[in-house]
Amino acid sequence: MSDSTHICFVCLGNIVRSPLAESMFRHLAEQAGLGHKYEVDSAGTSGWHVGEEPDRRMRRVAAEHGFRYTGRSRQVTKRDFLEFDWIIAMDASNHADLSRLADSEAARLKIRLMREFDPQGSPNDPVPDPYYGGIDGFEEVFQIVERSCLGLLDALERGNI
Protein backbone atom coordinates (compact mmCIF):
# COMPACT_ATOMS: atom_id res chain seq x y z
CA MET A 1 0.00 0.00 0.00
CA SER A 2 1.30 3.49 -0.77
CA ASP A 3 1.68 6.38 1.64
CA SER A 4 -1.66 7.82 0.55
CA THR A 5 -4.86 7.38 2.53
CA HIS A 6 -7.35 5.07 0.80
CA ILE A 7 -11.06 5.83 1.24
CA CYS A 8 -14.07 3.95 -0.11
CA PHE A 9 -17.52 5.57 0.01
CA VAL A 10 -20.41 3.09 0.21
CA CYS A 11 -24.16 3.32 -0.38
CA LEU A 12 -26.74 0.75 -1.43
CA GLY A 13 -26.45 0.66 -5.23
CA ASN A 14 -23.37 2.81 -5.90
CA ILE A 15 -25.20 4.99 -8.42
CA VAL A 16 -26.28 8.07 -6.42
CA ARG A 17 -24.66 8.89 -3.08
CA SER A 18 -21.34 7.06 -3.00
CA PRO A 19 -20.14 7.90 -6.55
CA LEU A 20 -20.97 11.55 -5.85
CA ALA A 21 -18.98 11.37 -2.59
CA GLU A 22 -16.05 9.68 -4.34
CA SER A 23 -15.88 12.33 -7.04
CA MET A 24 -16.59 15.22 -4.67
CA PHE A 25 -13.87 14.18 -2.20
CA ARG A 26 -11.34 13.73 -5.02
CA HIS A 27 -12.26 17.16 -6.43
CA LEU A 28 -12.02 18.92 -3.05
CA ALA A 29 -8.69 17.27 -2.22
CA GLU A 30 -7.27 18.29 -5.60
CA GLN A 31 -8.56 21.86 -5.17
CA ALA A 32 -6.78 22.04 -1.82
CA GLY A 33 -3.54 20.76 -3.37
CA LEU A 34 -3.91 17.49 -1.44
CA GLY A 35 -4.96 15.13 -4.22
CA HIS A 36 -1.68 13.23 -4.01
CA LYS A 37 -2.48 12.24 -0.43
CA TYR A 38 -5.73 10.39 -1.13
CA GLU A 39 -6.93 7.46 -3.21
CA VAL A 40 -10.72 7.23 -3.37
CA ASP A 41 -13.28 4.81 -4.73
CA SER A 42 -16.91 3.92 -4.15
CA ALA A 43 -19.02 0.77 -4.01
CA GLY A 44 -22.50 -0.48 -3.20
CA THR A 45 -23.63 -3.03 -0.66
CA SER A 46 -25.94 -4.54 -3.29
CA GLY A 47 -25.12 -5.75 -6.78
CA TRP A 48 -28.26 -4.38 -8.39
CA HIS A 49 -26.53 -1.75 -10.51
CA VAL A 50 -23.06 -3.25 -11.11
CA GLY A 51 -21.51 -1.74 -14.23
CA GLU A 52 -24.01 1.13 -14.49
CA GLU A 53 -23.11 4.82 -14.65
CA PRO A 54 -24.11 7.18 -11.81
CA ASP A 55 -27.78 8.19 -11.77
CA ARG A 56 -28.54 10.81 -14.43
CA ARG A 57 -30.60 12.93 -12.00
CA MET A 58 -27.69 13.20 -9.56
CA ARG A 59 -25.30 14.02 -12.40
CA ARG A 60 -27.74 16.69 -13.61
CA VAL A 61 -27.94 18.36 -10.19
CA ALA A 62 -24.15 18.19 -9.87
CA ALA A 63 -23.74 19.75 -13.33
CA GLU A 64 -26.01 22.61 -12.27
CA HIS A 65 -23.37 23.31 -9.61
CA GLY A 66 -20.60 23.11 -12.21
CA PHE A 67 -19.55 19.65 -11.05
CA ARG A 68 -19.28 16.79 -13.55
CA TYR A 69 -18.35 13.17 -12.88
CA THR A 70 -18.60 9.66 -14.27
CA GLY A 71 -17.88 6.14 -13.10
CA ARG A 72 -19.24 2.61 -13.03
CA SER A 73 -20.98 0.91 -10.14
CA ARG A 74 -19.38 -2.01 -8.33
CA GLN A 75 -20.27 -4.06 -5.29
CA VAL A 76 -18.21 -3.88 -2.10
CA THR A 77 -16.12 -6.96 -1.28
CA LYS A 78 -14.21 -8.33 1.70
CA ARG A 79 -11.02 -7.31 -0.11
CA ASP A 80 -12.03 -3.65 0.28
CA PHE A 81 -11.37 -3.98 4.00
CA LEU A 82 -7.74 -4.81 3.16
CA GLU A 83 -7.29 -2.14 0.49
CA PHE A 84 -8.92 0.85 2.20
CA ASP A 85 -7.99 2.72 5.36
CA TRP A 86 -11.53 4.09 5.75
CA ILE A 87 -14.89 2.89 4.51
CA ILE A 88 -17.48 5.64 4.70
CA ALA A 89 -21.12 4.46 4.82
CA MET A 90 -23.96 6.72 3.72
CA ASP A 91 -26.47 5.43 6.29
CA ALA A 92 -26.99 3.02 9.19
CA SER A 93 -28.23 0.24 6.91
CA ASN A 94 -25.06 0.44 4.80
CA HIS A 95 -23.01 0.52 8.02
CA ALA A 96 -24.76 -2.63 9.30
CA ASP A 97 -24.23 -4.44 5.97
CA LEU A 98 -20.56 -3.48 5.99
CA SER A 99 -20.16 -4.58 9.61
CA ARG A 100 -21.55 -8.01 8.71
CA LEU A 101 -19.15 -8.27 5.78
CA ALA A 102 -16.11 -7.28 7.86
CA ASP A 103 -14.32 -10.34 9.19
CA SER A 104 -12.46 -8.72 12.09
CA GLU A 105 -12.79 -5.97 14.66
CA ALA A 106 -9.96 -4.09 12.91
CA ALA A 107 -11.99 -4.15 9.70
CA ARG A 108 -15.14 -2.97 11.48
CA LEU A 109 -13.23 -0.03 13.01
CA LYS A 110 -12.56 1.28 9.48
CA ILE A 111 -16.29 1.88 8.92
CA ARG A 112 -17.57 5.39 9.61
CA LEU A 113 -20.80 7.21 8.82
CA MET A 114 -20.64 10.08 6.32
CA ARG A 115 -22.67 12.52 8.40
CA GLU A 116 -20.10 12.28 11.24
CA PHE A 117 -18.26 14.87 9.18
CA ASP A 118 -21.23 17.14 8.32
CA PRO A 119 -21.14 20.30 10.45
CA GLN A 120 -24.89 20.70 9.89
CA GLY A 121 -25.80 17.11 10.72
CA SER A 122 -25.64 14.69 13.59
CA PRO A 123 -23.21 11.76 13.48
CA ASN A 124 -25.96 9.16 13.07
CA ASP A 125 -27.98 11.10 10.48
CA PRO A 126 -28.19 9.35 7.12
CA VAL A 127 -27.32 10.77 3.76
CA PRO A 128 -30.86 10.21 2.48
CA ASP A 129 -31.35 8.09 -0.62
CA PRO A 130 -33.26 10.27 -3.13
CA TYR A 131 -33.68 7.47 -5.71
CA TYR A 132 -37.48 7.20 -5.48
CA GLY A 133 -38.16 10.89 -4.83
CA GLY A 134 -38.14 14.16 -6.71
CA ILE A 135 -35.27 16.34 -7.85
CA ASP A 136 -35.25 18.29 -4.56
CA GLY A 137 -33.93 15.19 -2.81
CA PHE A 138 -30.98 15.07 -5.19
CA GLU A 139 -30.20 18.71 -4.45
CA GLU A 140 -30.33 17.99 -0.71
CA VAL A 141 -27.95 15.05 -1.13
CA PHE A 142 -25.54 17.17 -3.17
CA GLN A 143 -25.39 19.75 -0.36
CA ILE A 144 -24.96 17.10 2.36
CA VAL A 145 -22.24 15.25 0.46
CA GLU A 146 -20.31 18.44 -0.30
CA ARG A 147 -20.38 19.56 3.37
CA SER A 148 -19.52 16.07 4.61
CA CYS A 149 -16.61 15.66 2.19
CA LEU A 150 -15.21 19.02 3.27
CA GLY A 151 -15.57 17.93 6.90
CA LEU A 152 -13.94 14.56 6.22
CA LEU A 153 -11.02 16.18 4.43
CA ASP A 154 -10.57 18.60 7.33
CA ALA A 155 -10.76 15.78 9.91
CA LEU A 156 -8.16 13.76 7.98
CA GLU A 157 -5.83 16.71 7.61
CA ARG A 158 -6.11 17.54 11.33
CA GLY A 159 -5.56 13.91 12.30
CA ASN A 160 -9.02 13.69 13.91
CA ILE A 161 -9.88 10.42 12.19
Show which residues are catalytic: 11, 17, 129
| Sign of the torsion angle spanned by Cα atoms 144, 127, 77, 69 | negative
Alpha-carbon distance 45 to 150, whole Å? 24
Please, which residues bridge with residue 43 across strands? 10
- Listed in order, strand segments (DSSP E) in the chain are 5-11, 38-44, 86-89, 111-113
Report how far residue 36's alpha carbon sits from residue 29's, in angstroms, rounded to the nearest whole number. Answer: 8
**How many Å apart are CA 62 and CA 43, to the nearest integer?**
19
DSSP reduced 3-state for 111: strand
Decide: helix, strand or coil at residue 51.
coil
Q: What is the DSSP letter of 136?
A: H
